[in-house]
A = this chain, B = another copy of it.
Amino acid sequence: MMLVKLGGSVITDKVRYRTFREEVLSRLVDEITSAQKEIILVHGAGSFGHIIAAQHQLQHGFSDISQIAGVAKVMEDVRELDLKVLKVLNLGGLPSVSLPPSAVASLRCGELDDLNVEMFRRYLELGMCPVTFGDVVLDRERRFGICSGDQLMERLAREFRPERVIFCSDVDGVFTADPARDPDAELIETVSRETLDALPRTKRCADVTGSIFGKLETMMRIASWGGDAIVLNGGIPGRLEAALRGETVVGSKVVSGTV
| Contact between A87 and B97, CB atoms less than 8 A apart | no
In the complex, A194 Cα to B87 Cα: how many Å?
A: 49
| Contact between A126 and B100, CB atoms less than 8 A apart | no
Given A103-B104, A126-B143: A79 in contact with B83 (beta carbons within 8 A): yes
Q: Which one of A32-40, A64-72, A220-228, A236-244 contacts B? A: A64-72
Q: Which of A86, A95, A122, A123 has the most CB atoms of chain B within a 10 A radius of its CB?
A: A95
State which of B72, B103, B116 has its C-beta within 8 Å of the C-beta of A128.
B72
In the complex, A68 Cα to B100 Cα: how many Å?
A: 20
Closest to A95 in B: B72
State how many residues of chain A have any CB contact under 8 Å with chain B. 34
- Which chain B residues border A98 with CB–CB below 8 Å? 75, 79, 100, 103
| Contact between A90 and B103, CB atoms less than 8 A apart | no
| Contact between A76 and B103, CB atoms less than 8 A apart | no
| Contact between A83 and B80, CB atoms less than 8 A apart | yes
In the complex, A50 Cα to B144 Cα: how many Å?
A: 35
Given A95-B72, A126-B68, A128-B72: A119 in contact with B90 (beta carbons within 8 A): no
| Contact between A79 and B86, CB atoms less than 8 A apart | yes
Say how many copies of this protein the assembly contains.
Answer: 2
Closest to A89 in B: B72
State which of B71, B76, B103, B119 has its C-beta within 8 Å of the C-beta of A119.
B103
CB of A96 within 8 Å of the partner chain = yes
| Contact between A73 and B102, CB atoms less than 8 A apart | no
State which of B73, B86, B100, B128 has its C-beta within 8 Å of the C-beta of A71.
B128
- Which chain B residues border A87 with CB–CB below 8 Å? 76
State which of B69, B80, B83, B123 has its C-beta within 8 Å of the C-beta of A138.
B123
In the complex, A119 Cα to B97 Cα: how many Å?
A: 19
| Contact between B127 and A68, CB atoms less than 8 A apart | yes
CB of A99 within 8 Å of the partner chain = yes
- Which chain B residues border A119 with CB–CB below 8 Å? 103, 138
The minimal Cβ–Cβ distance linking A60 to chain B, given in whole angstroms, is 15
User: With A75-B98, A79-B86 given, can you name 18 additional A-B contacts, CB distance below 8 Å?
Assistant: A62-B126, A68-B126, A68-B127, A69-B90, A71-B97, A72-B90, A72-B95, A72-B96, A72-B97, A72-B128, A73-B90, A75-B97, A76-B86, A79-B83, A103-B116, A116-B116, A126-B138, A126-B143
Between-chain CB contacts (< 8 Å), 5 pairs: A75-B97, A76-B83, A98-B103, A103-B103, A116-B116
Task: Give 9 nearest A-B pairs by CB, closest first.
Answer: A72-B95, A103-B103, A68-B95, A99-B103, A72-B90, A69-B95, A122-B138, A68-B127, A103-B104
